[in-house]
Amino acid sequence: MPSPEFFQVLPAADALALYDQHWQPQTALETIATAAALDRILAADVRSPEEVPAFRKSTVDGYAVRGSDTFGASQSLPAFLRLRGELRMGAAPRDDIDAGDALLIHTGGMLPASADAVVMLEYTQTINEGEIEILRAAAPGENVIQAGEDVAAGALVLQGRHRLRPQDIGGMLAVGISEVEVISRPRVGILSCGDELTPPEASLTPGMVRDINAYTLSALAEKHGAEPMRLGIAADAIADYRQRAEAGFAVCDILLLSAGSSVSARDYTRDVINGLGEPGILQHGLATKPGKPTIIAVCENQPVIGLPGNPVSALLVARQLLPHLIARFLGRKPELPATSKARLSQRIASVTGREDWLPIKLTRAADGETLAEPVFGKSNLIFTLIDAHGLLRIPLNTGGYDAGSLVDIERF
């Protein structure tokens, strides 16, 4: 007869520390189009191959002049300059200007070699087709940005391990960097095991359930910047389970096993993980609910998580571990989940020696306050999490929460 399992459980934070101790991520790099690099992580520092701006340009609409020609000009005593035409955008000036000349120029236009300032339109007046009045002096350099003033050639533009935002993509393209080296997304392999599991597109025969862990875990991995790989369903037989796990392990960076409900599948999971390489299983059992039967392992410098088969447990346990592993692979700190303050609708008891994660539905009270209501489900099916907006964490060894407590709800 199978005996119930007894083991020393470990807080989730300690389990993450075990991964950190036993795993040195070997990140892979890839070169992709800068335009397609939103949210990707830079492999290394990026320096500008060019200076910005590439030429001396006007920062306003006005007249390019030699500043010295405007000295002393005022409303009552304007300077008179010859108008030498209009600068065409997108081209170098056709001719230089001489002393006493002015050239109509637009914002971003390239200054002729001998011009050193731009007088804004509002401080000028047209006399006739060929002559303008300057009503205010312009010092050399006024309304002009020098070549290289914004970014020197070789200057650091972005630091390695930075997550690319819209402006970062724009900045790199501005200096001609149209391809960029980023850290490859970690491949998260997901293998389910159990004779009762069938692919979700199949119709059910009596006793079978659809395997959804492969899909909820794929979506979680994708949300956190990884590339999920669904490895299928292993039969509850050691040979098939081992073969599929080994094949998946060989092509992924992080392996998730979600063991079926039978006692043999759970036993096989231990054997299969230990067969993947040294050091193997580091810890069996987390001091969290859900999470007790979780297996923490590193095999041949590759993290492996043995997850419970129950879909709610599998997803809530993976949330505690997987984002940390993905972030570490990418050389980043895990991002803190968004939280909302809410007032608890009822007392929540806690159990000593265990951290609890409770699905919470948020509702709006008559007075506009946000209420947090626990979602309980007898069978712990995935629908408990569909009804919930987030999770309440009840930390280790606390007295739980009284009804009416103001708590932080971690949003899905």
- Touching a second copy, residues 185-244 (CB under 8 A): 194-198, 200-201, 203-210, 212-213, 215-220, 222-223, 236
Q: Does residue 28 interact with a second copy by CB under 8 A?
A: no
Stretch that binds a second copy, among 72-80, 254-262, 267-275, 399-407 (CB under 8 A): 254-262
Structure tokens at 242: 């081992």
Q: Which residues pair with 10 in a beta bridge?
A: 286
Chain positions 371 to 400 lying near a second copy, rule: CB under 8 A, are 377-379, 381-383, 385-386
Q: Does 130 bind a second copy (CB under 8 A)?
A: no
When the beta carbons of 18 and 209 are compared against a second copy, the nearer one is 209
The residue within the footprint of a second copy, chosen from 315, 327, 360, 409 (CB under 8 A), is 315
Q: How far is the CB of 404 from a second copy (least distance, A)?
A: 26
Of 253, 334, 255, 293, the C-alpha closest to 16 is 334
What is the C-alpha R_g of the chain?
A: 32
Cβ atoms of 350 and 399 closer than 8 Å: yes
Q: Which stretch binds a second copy (CB under 8 A): 244-252, 257-265, 326-334, 360-368?
A: 257-265
Q: Which of 166, 364, 366, 368 binds a second copy (CB under 8 A)?
A: 166
Between 10 and 211, whose beta carbon lies closer to a second copy?
A: 211
Q: 209: how many CB neighbours lie within 10 A of its CB?
A: 16
| 128 lies in the binding site for a second copy (CB under 8 A) | no
Residues between 57 and 76 with contacts to a second copy, criterion CB under 8 A: 59, 61
DSSP 171-217: HHHHTT--EEEEEPPPEEEEEEE-TTEE-TTSPP-TT-EE--HHHHH
* Cα 273 from Cα 31, distance rounded (Å): 33
**CA distances from residue 223 to 29, 220, 227, 337 in whole angstroms, order as listed:** 20, 5, 9, 12
- 18, 22, 82, 108: which one binds a second copy (CB under 8 A): 108
**Binding span for a second copy by CB under 8 A among 72-80, 86-94, 246-254, 344-352:** 86-94
What kind and span of H or E run contains 50? none
